Amino acid sequence: PDPALASVSTKASLIAGAAVLIASTGVCIRNAEVDGKILYSPMSVTLFSELAKLGLSVGATAYSTASHQPASGRTLLSFLPGALGYVVVNNVRYFMLEQVNPGLLAVIWNLKICMIGLLYSLPPFRRAFSGHQWSGALLLVAGSTLAEVSQWGSRDESGRANTGGALGLELVAFLLVLTSMSAVATEYAYKRTPLPLCRQNVILYSYGAGLNLITFLAWRAWTGGGFGAWTTGFTGWTWAVVVTQAASGYAIGALLKHVDAIGQVFADVVAMLFSALVAFALFDLAANWQYAVALLVCSMSLGVYYLDVVRSALDAHRRKQAAVQAAVRDAQSAADRDGAAQGFWATRSPLVVADPRPPGASVELTA
């Protein structure tokens, strides 16, 4: 297969797979609520998810054929900033989902593309967006804004405003900035450390499990909750949250290493489409023409942003095909010239019969 097209296909598959897992996590979190309330400890869920991701990473490393030489101290430290940010994001997201409808949140969350674009322009990336990329980002902002406007004044089955009010929007804004910085820092660590993905994940999720354990124990000590019954309030849906969050986190790691942080944003775009359908059916998200247009605009932004990438891959494929065809034509022309140079005998089919006498000239008979 053509390497350029295969690369685009692989990236698209990674985005689609991550999108399904991201959307499933949000849906499971909302279904795990009882009368709009979370009865389990979100910190327990996050801790179990980090332990599950660490287990996956250790298992993948054990079966990997890559070198197991020790990582340098610089490599170990490079994953710490992103891990610190994700500890906050992963624990606060449950409270955020209590404040904001998940279908609406999935759209607004895509505003982080602008923050990531600004971070990319700074050292060490110094990577400027192209015109099409900024156009895609602006379309995403427009679609997200329209989605927010479409839900003003509407409430869900529990009587909560779908936009979450001032507290919900302020919380979303804070986490947008923090998750963008964490994604860019983690992408940098993935791409600048000379280790396979499985070993990089062992480092990242070791930080995640350790930091979440410390956070969990500190919170229990502060609130006087004690250190037992870590699974109080857990249901089947809660364990589904643990599994989907672990799987989506692992998939996002692959996205950051093999695509970039913007690829994660567009995984959220695809997840948004699925989340919106579920939110319409289960969570009383207001279905109106404004929200439908918002979904369409956000979906269009995906194609506009990656237009240059797809066009470059198609151009490379066409150039390769043209080079192959030119090589075939040159080979045919060379064969025709050789045939013309050899003249009449080149067009005959010789039948060579060995002379029974001692080695010498053979006898050539022609039809």
For residue 138, the surrounding DSSP H or E stretch is helix 131-150
**57/22 Cα distance (integer angstroms):** 19
The residues with which 105 forms a beta bridge, in sequence order, are none
The residue written with tokens 């410390």 in the block is: 214
- Asked if residue 263 lies in contact with residue 14, where contact means CB atoms within 8 angstroms, the answer is yes
Q: Give the span between the Cα atoms of 60 and 54, in whole angstroms.
A: 10
Q: What is the pLDDT of residue 116?
A: 84
Please, what are the averages of pLDDT over each run of 10 residues along the chain (367 residues)?
60 83 83 80 89 93 80 91 91 73 64 80 78 81 72 56 58 85 92 89 94 88 70 89 91 87 78 71 66 79 77 76 85 77 54 52 48
- Partners of 353 in the beta sheet? 363
**Residue 20 burial by CB count (10 A; 0-12/13-18/19+): exposed, middle or buried?**
middle
CB-CB contact of 112 with 176 (8 Å) = yes
- Peptide bond connecting 124 to the previous residue in cis, omega within 30 degrees of 0: yes
Rounded Cα gap, residues 243 and 238, in angstroms: 9
Characterize 75-97 residue by residue with b for buried, 16 or more Cβ atoms within 10 angstroms of its Cβ, and e for exposed: beebbebbbbbbbbbbbbbbebb
Q: What is the pLDDT of residue 149?
A: 67
Identify the residue whose tokens are 């995906």: 302
pLDDT computed for residue 365 by the predictor: 46
Beta strands in the chain (DSSP E): 350-353, 363-366
Alpha-carbon torsion, ordered 187, 192, 195, 201, to 10 deg: -20
Among 59, 81, 55, which residue's Cα sits nearest to residue 209?
A: 55
C-alpha to C-alpha distance for 30 and 168, rounded to whole angstroms: 16
Q: What pLDDT does residue 188 have?
A: 92
What single DSSP character describes residue 330? H
